[in-house]
Amino acid sequence: MRQNLKAYKQVDVNSSLLESNPHQIILMMFDGMLQGIAVAKGAIERKDYELKAKSISKAINILQALRQSLDFESQPEISNNFDVMYSYCIDKLTDISVSLDVDGFAEVVDMLKPLRDAWFAMPESGKQEGLTLLAEKNKQVAGA
């Protein structure tokens, strides 16, 4: 039964990704990363170190994907700032994984949750502007 539920959730996530625009995908990434942190915290408190390792790895992998998606060409200063922050959070999560100090999760969440909330609260006009800029950039890359 549990495997069926897990498979259903995976299909639901995959379907959501196929139907999503880049803005929604990044929001889903933030949500997944924050969920991984919450699960890791609970796993440490219960001494479930296998789940802790999987959950922290999930959060770190998402942060690495967010780092890789930064556009240093178009927005070098902003991208550099996010890169430094994401890198710091990855290092902090790695330290927490070893030290098992759950208090460190609060610092990471306090840094990243406002970004997630800003993505969620972005007005539709901002989303459309971003999609337009992305489409223009893709045209330029395809034409080069």
Q: Which string of DSSP letters, residue by residue, matches 31-59?
A: HHHHHHHHHHHHHHHHT-HHHHHHHHHHH
- Residue 131: per-residue pLDDT: 63
Question: What's the angle, vertex CA 90, arms to CA 3 and CA 30, rounded to 5?
Answer: 55
pLDDT tens digit sequence for 51-70: 999 999 999 999 999 999 89
Of 32, 27, 40, which Cα lies nearest the Cα of 10? Answer: 32
What are the angstrom distances between the C-alpha of 30 and each of 60, 62, 71, 104, 139?
11, 8, 18, 18, 28
How far apart are the C-alpha atoms of 13 and 28, rounded to whole Å?
9
Q: Are 44 and 100 in contact (CB under 8 A)?
A: yes
Q: So what's the pLDDT on residue 17? A: 47
Q: Give pLDDT, residue 75.
A: 85
Percent of the chain with pLDDT over 70: 76
Domains and CATH numbers, the chain: 22-139 (1.20.120.340)
The H or E element that residue 1 is part of is none
Q: Where are the alpha helices (DSSP H) in the chain?
A: 2-19, 22-46, 49-68, 76-99, 104-121, 124-143
Q: Match 């539709």 to its residue by tokens.
A: 124
Q: pLDDT tens-digit profile of 14-40?
A: 545 455 678 889 999 999 999 999 999
- Report the range of poorest mean pLDDT among 8-17, 77-86, 95-104, 129-138: 8-17
Please report the pLDDT score of residue 124 as a whole number: 74
Residue 133 clears pLDDT 80, i.e. is over it: no
Question: Exposed/middle/buried for 60, CB within 10 Å: 0-12, 13-18, 19+?
Answer: buried
Phi then psi dihedrals of residue 122, to 5 deg = -60, 130
Give the pLDDT band (50/70/90) at residue 11: very low
